[in-house]
Structure 1
Amino acid sequence: MKIRFLLALLSVLASAPAWSQVNALPSQPHLLVKGQAERTVMPDRFTLDFLVQSTMPSPGDARASVERNVATVLALFKANRALSDSIHASTLSISPEHAFEEGKQVFKGTKVVRRVRATFTRLEDVRAVLSGVESGPELQITGIRSGYAAAAGLRAELKREAAQQSRRSAEGLASAYGTRITGLYTISDVAPSFAYGVQAGMWPAPGDEAGVTPPAPPAPTADIGATVEVTGTRVAPETLQTGTITFNENVYAIFLISP
């Protein structure tokens, strides 16, 4: 008896996700529509990441070398108007360093590591920092990331625009079929996958030609932008450029319609 009850319980639990998905659709007539809003902006934040490290037999010497390089980078940050609340230097990381030589593990010394980063509002200041850095094994530029300071506000605005577009789309569809909207059943910024079998990348964008369904662009993060790889010991100012940032917000809504 206990075994039968357990099997019945497992069967109910296994089918629960399917029930919840089916029950998410209204039983009355409805429209499922998508609203989309997009904006392209120029980046106004530029973040530099540095890796500072040294490996020496003496832990004290390795630490002193790292601290000298960190002090140099921090001075360049402050001299070139880095945002004060963005300057960050990690705590020291100390570990033994080994290498394999002729099949044997050989102790090479103590490795000391710190990471430093800062954000700037002007690309000219980033160029000045890069021009003042002598990069090498002990001081490396690990990344340049661009971002947009008002990203949160812009995303909220785009969500509102996408919601308004979904409403207009639903009203147009309802009118074309001689019916009317009677209410909003649900709205979400996550693409549904109900019994329709529709996924996020299958939704056509506004203005697309009929029969052509391009894949949806990936959702950007708050700091999406152009990434510039840096090589060499010194970076010429003319080599650093940045592109634009595109923000895209989608809204998926189910509207109830009159039968």
Structure 2
Amino acid sequence: MTKRIMQVAALWLMAGLAFAQANSIPSQPHLLVKGQASRTVMPDRFTVELLLQATDASPDKARQIVQTNAANVLALLSKHNAVPDSVSASSLSIEPDRAYENGKSVFKGTRVTRRLRGTFDVLGGLQAMLAALDTSPELQVTSLRSTYSQGGRLRAELKREAAQQSRRTADGLASAYGTRIIGLYTISDVAPDFAYGVRAGVWDTRESDDQPAPPAPPAAQPAIGGTVDVTGSRAASESLQAGAITYSENVYAIFLIAP
């Protein structure tokens, strides 16, 4: 036990030293630079989440209502080609349903709830599923999200590009001032907190005028928004609008320099 405590303490000490170095200024001459890379893509995954609930004096009746709605929703997800591995359903949740009336807690019955989720790789499938869905107090669309399936790979690429940009910036500054880079002191994707008077969000990363301008965002295409308008009890898929998704990665580096 003592050995384990010492190991944990050593890990905390190492983490503290790393954090301290990341937020310390070297005594040697140095350059602090930021590299940034971003890319705009169109979403290719569209996720819908639904809440199924029912309240009744009979717990079994409330359960049957929820289970019937769940079966209908799962059938629609399958019919309109939701990605099979993305379809999931939570366990049934059962609890008393109470409301305050005239300052008193009144028992309304037993509330049974369940949540369902499914993802489409084609927006048309989601639109068709919503067009066939009747919403009600017992069956609600709670959220719609659009994502990019290769987001993890893209972030890794952007991080590499940001690191390369930070090196180019440092090389340009060193050359302009007649110095040379002799080593790397720290590099991090978390903005350092120095007494430079500059913080993340206000760094100007524009390169010289002879650099090509970044590509324009992709042309607008039908995609999913964050809300669904409901007319009567029919979910209106026509209200789905979309925008592109912009990924951005930053890298902060301190390079040691010498004449």
TM-score bracket for the superposition, by shorter chain length: 0.7 to 0.9
- Distance in 1 between the 2:23 and 2:42 partners? 44
Amino acid at match of 2:100: F
Cα distance in 2, alignment partners of residues 23 and 136 from structure 1:
54
What is residue 5 of structure 1 aligned with on the other side?
Answer: none
Query: C-alpha separation between the residues in 1 aligned to 2:83 and 2:26?
Result: 51
Partner of residue 33, structure 1: 33
Tell me the number of residue pairs that the alignment of Structure 1 and Structure 2 aligns.
228
- State how far apart, in whole Å, the 2-side matches of 1:38 and 1:23 are: 25
Structure 1 position 22, deviation (Å) = 9.1
2:191 aligned partner, one-letter code: A
1:104 aligns with 2:104: yes
Aligned 8 A contact 1:134 1:234 in 2: yes
| Match status 1:53 vs 2:53 | yes
Give 3-state SS (helix, strand or coil) of 1:169's partner: helix
CA 93–30 in structure 1, closer or farther in 2 if over 3 Å, else same: same
Q: 1:154 to 1:207 in 2, by over 3 A?
A: same
> Counterpart in 1 of 2:186?
186
Partner of 2:252: 252
Q: What is the percentage of aligned positions where both structures have the same residue?
A: 59
Separation in 1 of the partners of 2:51 and 2:36? Answer: 40
Residue identity opposite 2:77 in structure 1: F
Unaligned runs of 5+ in 2: 1-15, 210-223
Change (3 A) 1:208 1:248: farther
Q: Distance in 2 between matches of 1:97 and 1:208?
A: 64
**TM-score normalised over the length of structure 2:** 0.83
Unaligned segments of structure 1, at least 5 residues: 1-15, 210-224
1:144 and 2:144 aligned = yes
Residue 147 of structure 1, CA deviation: 0.1
Work out the CA distance in 1 between the residues paired with 2:22 and 2:72. Answer: 61
Distance 2:20 2:247 in 1: 32
Deviations 1:118-164 (A, max 9, x none): 11101100101111111010000000000000000000000000000
| 1:84-233 mapped onto 2 (5 Å cutoff) | 84-207=84-207, 226-232=225-231, 233=233
Distance 1:143 1:208, change over 3 A: farther
Question: Secondary structure of the residue that 1:73 maps to in structure 2?
Answer: helix
Q: TM-score, structure 1 length as denominator?
A: 0.83
Report the aligned-residue RMSD: 2.1
How far 1:228 sits from its partner (Å)?
2.8
How far is 1:107 from its partner?
Answer: 1.1
Partner residue, 1:24: 24
Equivalent residues of 1:145, 1:228 under 8 A apart: no
* SS of aligned partner of 2:230: coil
How far apart are residue 105 of structure 1 and its match? 1.9
1-side partners of 2:130 and 2:252: how far apart?
Answer: 45
Cα deviation 1:210-244 (Å, max 9, x = unaligned)? xxxxxxxxxxxxxxx84233333213332212210
CA offsets 1:14-69 (integer angstroms, 9 cap, x no match): xx99x936983221111000000000000000000000000001000000000000
> Is the CA contact (8 Å cut-off) linking 1:36 and 1:206 kept in structure 2?
no
- The CA deviation at 1:255 is 0.6
Q: Which secondary structure does the structure 2 equivalent of 1:201 belong to? A: coil
Distance 1:195 1:144 in 2: 43
Alignment partners' CA distance in 1, 2:145 and 2:179: 50
Q: Quote the residue 2:3 is aligned against.
A: none
Indicate if the aligned counterparts of 1:52 and 1:66 stay in contact, CA closer than 8 A.
yes
Change (3 A) 1:20 1:239: closer
